[in-house]
Structure 1
Amino acid sequence: MDNLTLERWRALDALGVLERLGCYAKVDSTYEPVSAHDTRRFHVSLDGRDFELLLRGPKFYDTRRARGGGGAVDLAMHLHNLDFKNATALLRSLGV
């Protein structure tokens, strides 16, 4: 894995990554952020599992599991319960 690809994946918008991972994501229009006003809340479904994610650029926070991260690799690891190696393989196979 080269550093340029990792840097590109770290900078990708989390909502776009969700789409590439095949997630269904619905914005919660009732959500009003407290501090970071560009944060949005999404209800996400993937393979029969549901998540409530706060998204802000490449960063995400899972409110139900109290875990977050940043970038495509972290998001793939979190949603698919993968290790780093398998998450990068998944992203490559999806052409992310």
Structure 2
Amino acid sequence: MALRRSFDTVVLAELRQIPASKALGRLAIVAKADPSYTPLKNTGSRRWHVRTTRGEFEIITTGVQWYDTRARTGGGGAIDLAMHILGLSFVGAVRRLRDEVPPDGTDYP
């Protein structure tokens, strides 16, 4: 019987709390905030023009929430975002994000 490995729940919780805007900055080749964007509902939201190895995206972020205006899909948390913009599996997204976080955690709040 194969051993089943899983990620530490603390690590998963920390990755899910990374603000989507910060995750974009670490995952994308280019993530540029749109200065012409005027939020209608939440004044803390921002629109980003994003380029990855999979293509270009227009992402709106509010805290950990994100929405892809072109694909008309969204989610909550950096793991879902990494899966969406990079085409990764859950395991691949967690590994990618985990590897991006410095040991002292100074880069991500």
TM-score, normalised by the number of residues in structure 1: 0.89
CA RMSD of aligned residues (A): 1.5
Runs of 4+ in 1 over 4 A off after TM superposition: none
Unpaired stretches in structure 1, ≥5 consecutive residues: none
Q: Which of 54, 57, 64 lines up with 2:60 in the alignment?
A: 54
CA displacement at 1:48 relative to structure 2: 5.9
Q: 1:23 to 1:57 in 2, by over 3 A?
A: farther
TM-score, normalised by the number of residues in structure 2: 0.80
Q: Which is higher, the Rg of structure 1 or of structure 2?
A: 2
What SS is found at the alignment partner of 1:36? Answer: coil
Q: Deviations over 1:11-42 (max 9, x none)?
A: 11112111221431111111111111111101
Unpaired stretches in structure 2, ≥5 consecutive residues: 1-6, 103-109
Q: 1:36 to 1:89 in 2, by over 3 A?
A: same
Measured in 2, the distance between the counterparts of 1:71 and 1:23 equals 19
Matched residue count: 96
Percent identity at matched positions?
40
